[in-house]
Amino acid sequence: MWVSLVSLLPLLVVAFALPSSDSEHKVKELVVPPRGWSIHGPAPLDHLIKLRIALPQSNFQALEDHLYEISDPYHERYGAHLSKEDIEELVAPRPESVDAVAQWLHSHGIQDEDMGRSPAGDWLTLRIPVALVEKMLDTKYHVWKHAGSGDYLVRTTSYSLPKSLHEHIELIQPTTMFGAFKKLKSTIHSISEADATIQTQNLRPIVDAAGVTVDASCNTTITITCLKEIYNAVGYTPSATVGNSVGITGYLEENANRADLQTFYADQVPAAAAVNSTFKFISVAGGLDSQNSSLAGGEANLDVQFAFGLSFPIASTFYSTAGRPPFIPDIGTPEDTNEPYTDWLDFILSHPSPPLAISTSYGDDEQTVPESFAKRACAGFAQLGARGVSLTVSSGDGGVGDGDPDPATQECITNDGLNRTRFIPGFPASCPFVTAVGGTIHFPEQAVDFSGGGFSDYFARPSYQDAAVKGFLSKLPKGTYSGLFNPNGRAIPDVSAQSDFFRVFIAGTPRSIGGTSASSPTFAGFVALLNDGRFKKGLPSLGFLNPLLYSKAASGFNDITVGSNPGCGTPGFNATKGWDAVTGLGTPNFAKLLALVT
């Protein structure tokens, strides 16, 4: 049974919010402290917070309308992507909002030169001490400690604004966000030793029912060659001169090691090794480019090696976004950091020519991210899609659950104070403007048991999913998992790809890595190849993929009908004919997709 959070407000305000001394203030946002977090002590008044203020975007509905038209392969505007300037005009806040917020900030001694502004002016950023933030937001910050990880956060559970400002400010963070954005959960499932060489002796090639032939070693070791064989891309040669590009986002101080990339290329992409191919590095918000081999990141190396290995010689970029736990009580007042997704979005939206296919292999449980923040970040992803960028995101490694064995967080229990058992969707995979990528294993392919899948509690099911998802739901026995998921929510994943036994080089040594961390960069690599085919015919980039995938391109996928994604003490959902909440539409058949999109 759903209970409105509004019914809990009186109790929570008394328990967690500073009583208001200004009768004109009204609570803007309030949350229940998530399980595992407890107050460690008061926040130091001189602790600096990088406060981000979101002003309502004046015409986001028009932007969304544009996005769906230019992403619909049957619409006359298909592929007519918007410019950076077009986007900024649509999302710029109303002048009255800009003025009202500026006056409020001036009243607290904050001048225009103290603020950073996004290109569209819809985000304001300022670095101010806790004492001032508490006064401005009529609240009280504390240092919170997480029982399982030992991490600390400086947060509040409620903040207020003058009533007259509620229509002019959409949200302010970091305030009520207890998610792991300061320390994103990589969706790598496992890392283990790998053989120095791939064992292929006395193994017959595997031939599936469709006649596709794949080297037998691909059932225990995934390489670039395996992926091209499994997904029907053998012999396709992309160009380096048609203006194409692909990118990888990196967080958690994960470093993509260039020496490891060369070793990987020598092992699997000799043409790239022959020309010493590498990636462009871009630092976001102070992200580092350490090339110390002992600090090589398994996630970053996996992502760049396979996305760039598949797409070579397409121009490649690795973004390193800084982000560490923002507070350590024993060292006083350190530099604060903000949620890395917003730092990266700020940067990439200001960039005149972002990569045209970008993969992210990091995420968090949707319920740990305030809904207001999730929806605003999702709107940023929509802006990129409208500019012709395809975004792929790992669907997660917990099946229908959160995959977290930490007893302090109690897997599959809601964070709303009611402690209900609930399937746990992931964010940003739940954003309808990204392409969520689930996982498969072996050949012939089947769903891998950790493939994240399910239904969002924040985002309604987009129309492009209606037919496919309703078909899936109609096949579920009546009452299956009743109350455990939102059948009207945005469904996850959209597609899938191989996600285990990836042969990755870390500090010069081959490792075997599994997780939907592998499937997202793999899918992005194939998207880059599809863009290559389009550019060679004078067509624009694919941009936001999902309306295409669920319509014209649906026949370009290998339907996965074996496997399931257990979690939360249940068997999870089953892979079945058509779309399912384990593998989505299935895995790509590159040759078929290329014919469909060119």
3-state secondary structure 437-466: EEEEECCCCEECCCCCCEEEEEEECCHHHH
| Helices 371-386/340-350 angle, 10° precision | 30
Using omega within 30 degrees of 0 as the cis cutoff, is the peptide bond preceding 547 cis? no
Q: Is 134 a catalytic residue?
A: no
Measured distance between the N- and C-terminal CA atoms of the chain, rounded to whole angstroms: 49
**524 touches 565 (CB < 8 A):** no
Residue in 261, 255, 314, 300 with CA at minimum distance from that of residue 513:
300
* One-letter amino acid for residue 191 of the chain: I
3 state DSSP class of 251: coil
Query: Residue 419's CB: how many other CB atoms inside 10 A?
Result: 11
Q: To 5 degrees, how large is the angle CA 211–CA 220–CA 255?
A: 115
Closest by CA position to 434, among listed 560, 305, 524: 524
Q: At a CB cut-off of 8 Å and minimum separation 6, what does 65 contact?
A: none
Determine if the peptide bond prior to 462 is cis (ω within 30°).
Answer: no
User: What's the CA gap between 188 and 515, in Å, rounded?
Assistant: 5
Rounded distance between C-alpha atoms, residue 370 and residue 366, angstroms:
8
The string of DSSP codes covering 141-186 is: -EEEEETTT--EEEE-SEEEEEGGGTTT--EEESSS--SSGGG-EE
Q: Give yes or no: 299 in active site.
A: yes
Query: Is 239 a residue of the active site?
Result: no
93: exposed, middle or buried (C-beta count within 10 Å: 0-12, 13-18, 19+)? buried
Peptide bond preceding 428 in cis form (omega within 30 of 0)? yes
DSSP, collapsed to helix, strand or coil, labels residue 564 as strand
Binding residues for Ca(2+): 559-560, 578, 580
**Measured distance CA(96)–CA(117) in Å, rounded:** 16
Q: How far is CA 527 from CA 205, 424, 429, 443, 581, in A?
A: 27, 28, 17, 21, 22
**How far, in Å, CA of 503 to CA of 261, rounded?**
12
Question: Is the separation of the CB atoms in 535 and 244 below 8 Å?
Answer: yes
Q: Which residue has the tokens 């994240």?
A: 452
Annotated binding site: 559-560, 578, 580
Q: 116, 105 in Cβ contact below 8 A? A: no
Residue pointed to by tokens 């003058």: 162
Residues 6+ apart with CB under 8 A from 546: 71, 432, 433, 435, 462, 464, 465, 494
Q: Specify whether the CB–CB gap between 504 and 511 falls below 8 A.
A: yes
Catalytic residue among 158, 217, 496, 517: 517
Catalytic residue among 151, 260, 303, 343: 303
Write out the catalytic residue numbers: 299, 303, 517
